[in-house]
């Protein structure tokens, strides 16, 4: 039976989710084991002591009050007015331009001036549903890092939201005594969300003016720095290209789906781009409409291949640039990446959608008031990774299968054993939310990439979580 404390929320995929009311015990049992060659459940058991009762993670404890009414914003025309003026002056805009402005316009962009997550926001994500998710990823990172290095590393999170995932991972690092090896690097475009991350993660922070001196030496590429109460240094960047070149472990959870996409449509006259135009019959609503470009735009020529079998296509050029950067970065500096998102392997067509207050919403109505998102094309990452034989890829694999192989069921049993009676339903609901196939277990997928030089190494010590899943209890 579902607990009365649970309420249905929407993920950005569109499946109903249960609001998180879960947590876990944080003690390790002190057992010391060699990392190499051990199965990952050694880490899970090592991390999760069995004595400490789980604490509840409530939505309230993660809500921050943000000033959303600055003078600057109130004097600005609405995003709809700004985009309308632009379209009137220059003609219809691409969906990529529209998405970029709606999500990251400096003053009116969806992500730029409010906390968009959780009960009072528009959607909820796995790390916000239950801390078990971040803890499993923390265990996976240690397991994979310890197979290839014992040295210091940069943990780089792209689009960290409230900073919840990084916080849960750092707690695992502390428990497993590798906290002194890590520095945290957050790539975040939103000043409001980066302030929330700082509040969530740091005991002290400092704004930094990213500048370069005349000779281009001593350049500062971060815009904020801070420190956690365990002494972990944290740096914030606007772009992944600003992250210092060093051995790094990258995480991108629900990041790539927020990057702008172009939309293309096959017509009787060939491929055309889908554009956003003023709607002449909007009935006083702040609403745009789709139109098809009269000619093939430059993007059609750049991104649609001649033998494309689909009739409709979405392409994210920014994802291509970041994937390319990641490829060179890992090849040259070492490390690995885990991408977790809803997505497909190059077969889906029209996935562009919006979410507002946990409901599906028309992406062209009231721009800036709803989240815009499109499924991630994992085949693109695999293609780019294999260029020049730089990286090898694992996955995409369903989130359910990945988490089960990491030992989430052991973790669940430990939690349930120690949890007070009245919290068991909540813990179990959160677990089902992130693992069940009809919730987030199947539509969310994991893709990991490592330098190709490790190929032989992985034949002996395969990457955890991506094994053949035949026989895994569904
Ligand atoms: C859907 S949220 C995911 C947040 C978090 N990873 C989670 O799963 O809870 C997307 C995040 O990416 C950030 N973001 C969106 N576009 C970005 C860009 N172009 N560069 C850097 N961060 C971006 C947003 O501000 C937000 O923090």
Query: Does residue 2 register a pLDDT over 60?
Result: no
Does residue 49 come out as left (phi exceeding 0), alpha (psi in the -120 to 50 range) or beta?
beta
Per-residue pLDDT reduced to its tens digit, 58-79? 332 222 223 444 555 556 789 9
pLDDT at 259: 98
Task: Tell how far the Cα of 341 is from the centroid of ligand 1, in angstroms.
Answer: 12
The atom of ligand 1 lying closest to the CA of 257 is: 1
3-state secondary structure of 196: helix
Residue 19 scores a pLDDT above 50 = no
- Per-residue model confidence as pLDDT tens digits over 87-130: 999 999 999 999 999 999 999 999 998 898 887 888 899 999 99
Distance 237 CA to ligand 1 centre (A): 12
* Banded pLDDT at 468 (limits 50, 70, 90): low
The rounded Cα 273 to chain-centroid distance in angstroms is 27
State which of 57, 99, 161 you would mutate to test the pocket of ligand 1, scoring each by most atoms of that ligand within 8 A of its C-beta.
161
Q: Is this prediction's pTM over 0.85?
A: yes
pLDDT of residue 220: 82
Predicted confidence at residue 26, as pLDDT, reads: 26
pLDDT tens digit sequence for 147-167: 999 999 999 999 999 999 999
The mean predicted confidence, pLDDT, of the chain is: 85
* Residue with CA nearest ligand 1 atom 2: 161
Rounded to the nearest angstrom, the distance between the alpha carbon of 162 and the centre of ligand 1 is 9
Give, in order, the Cα–Cα distances in Å from 151 to each of 144, 154, 251, 305, 416. 13, 10, 19, 43, 36
Token pair 């989240």: residue: 371
Pocket probe mutation, ligand 1, options 12, 59, 64, 111, max atoms within 8 Å of Cβ:
111
Q: Of all atoms in ligand 1, which is nearest to the CA of residue 12?
A: 1
What is the arithmetic mean of pLDDT over 35-52? 49
Residue with tokens 């369903």: 398
Q: What are the Cα distances from residue 443, in Å, to 44, 158, 469?
A: 25, 20, 16
- C-alpha torsion sign, points 75, 81, 85, 90: positive
Which residue's alpha carbon is at the smallest distance from atom 5 of ligand 1? 161
Domain ranges within the chain, ordered by starting residue: 8-66+114-260+316-353+375-460, 71-112+262-314
Please say whether the beta carbons of 11 and 29 come within 8 A. no
pLDDT band at residue 33 using 50, 70 and 90 as cut-offs? very low
| Cα-to-centroid distance, 406 and ligand 1 (Å) | 25
* Domain 8-66+114-260+316-353+375-460 homologous superfamily, CATH: Vaccinia Virus protein VP39 (3.40.50.150)
DSSP state of 421: G
Confidence of residue 211 (pLDDT cuts 50, 70, 90): low
Question: 27 CA distance to ligand 1 centroid (A)?
Answer: 31
- Backbone phi and psi for residue 449, each to the nearest 5 degrees, phi listed first: -135, 135
Report which ligand 1 atom has the smallest distance to the Cα of 373: 1
Number of C-alpha atoms within 13 angstroms, CB side, residue 468?
A: 2
Strands 8-10 and 16-18: antiparallel
Among positive and negative, which fits the CA dihedral 30, 35, 40, 41?
negative
User: How close is the Cα of 257 to the center of ligand 1, in Å?
Assistant: 9
Span from the CA of 465 to the centroid of ligand 1 (angstroms): 24
Residue 48: pLDDT band with limits 50, 70, 90? low
Q: At what angle do helices 131-148 and 408-418 cross, to 10 degrees?
A: 130
C-alpha 244 to ligand 1 mean position (Å) = 20
Q: Span 183-195, mean pLDDT? A: 97
Please tell me the distance from the alpha carbon of residue 426 to that of residue 19, in angstroms, as a whole number. Answer: 9
Give residues (CB < 6 A) around ligand 1: 103-104, 111, 125, 127-128, 159-161, 165, 187-190, 193, 253-255, 258
> What's the confidence (pLDDT) of residue 47?
58
Mutate to test the pocket of ligand 1, among 97, 129, 159, 188 (most ligand atoms within 8 A of CB): 159
CA angle 285, 264, 393 (to 5 degrees): 115
Phi, psi of 178 (to 5 degrees): -120, 15
Residue 470 has pLDDT above 50, yes or no: no
């Amino acid at each position: 039976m579902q607990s009365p404390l649970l309420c249905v929320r929407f993920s950005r995929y569109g499946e109903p989710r249960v609001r998180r009311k879960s947590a876990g015990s944080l003690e390790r049992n002190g057992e010391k084991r060699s990392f190499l060659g051990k199965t990952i459940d050694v880490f899970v058991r090592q991390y999760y002591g069995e004595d400490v009762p789980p604490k509840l993670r409530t939505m309230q404890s993660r809500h921050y009050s943000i000033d959303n009414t600055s003078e600057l914003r109130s004097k600005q025309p609405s995003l709809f007015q700004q985009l309308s003026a632009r379209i009137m002056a220059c003609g219809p805009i691409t969906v990529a331009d529209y998405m970029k402005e709606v999500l990251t316009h400096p003053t009116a962009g969806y992500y730029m001036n409010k906390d968009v997550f959780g009960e009072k926001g528009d959607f909820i994500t796995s790390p916000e549903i239950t801390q078990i998710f971040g803890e499993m990823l923390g265990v996976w990172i240690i397991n994979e890092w310890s197979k290839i290095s014992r040295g210091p590393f940069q943990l780089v999170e792209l689009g960290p939201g409230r900073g919840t995932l990084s916080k849960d991972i750092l707690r695992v690092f502390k428990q497993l005594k590798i906290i002194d090896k890590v520095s945290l690097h957050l790539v975040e475009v939103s000043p409001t969300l980066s302030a929330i991350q700082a509040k969530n993660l740091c005991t002290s922070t400092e704004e930094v003016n990213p500048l370069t001196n005349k000779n281009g030496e001593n350049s500062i590429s971060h815009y904020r720095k801070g420190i956690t109460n365990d002494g972990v240094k944290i740096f914030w960047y606007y772009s992944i290209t600003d992250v210092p070149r060093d051995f790094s472990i990258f995480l991108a959870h629900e990041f790539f789906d927020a990057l702008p996409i172009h939309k293309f449509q096959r017509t009787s006259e060939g491929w055309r781009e889908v554009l956003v135009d003023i709607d002449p019959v909007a009935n006083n609503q702040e609403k745009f409409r789709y139109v098809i470009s009269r000619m093939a735009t430059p993007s059609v020529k750049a991104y649609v291949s001649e033998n494309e079998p689909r009739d409709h296509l979405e392409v994210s050029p920014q994802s291509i640039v970041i994937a390319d950067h990641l490829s060179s970065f890992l090849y040259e500096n070492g490390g690995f990446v885990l991408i977790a998102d809803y997505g497909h392997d190059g077969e889906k067509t029209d996935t562009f959608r919006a979410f507002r207050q946990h409901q599906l919403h028309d992406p062209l109505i009231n721009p800036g008031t709803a989240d815009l998102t499109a499924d991630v094309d994992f085949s693109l990452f695999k293609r780019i990774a294999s260029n020049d034989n730089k990286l090898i890829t694992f996955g995409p694999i369903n989130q359910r299968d990945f988490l089960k192989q990491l030992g989430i069921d052991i973790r669940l049993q430990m939690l349930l054993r120690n949890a007070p009676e009245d919290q068991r339903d909540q813990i179990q609901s959160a677990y089902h939310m992130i693992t069940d196939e009809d919730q987030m277990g199947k539509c969310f997928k994991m893709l990991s990439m490592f330098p190709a030089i490790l190929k032989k190494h992985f034949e002996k010590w395969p990457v955890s979580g991506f094994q053949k899943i035949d026989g895994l209890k569904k």
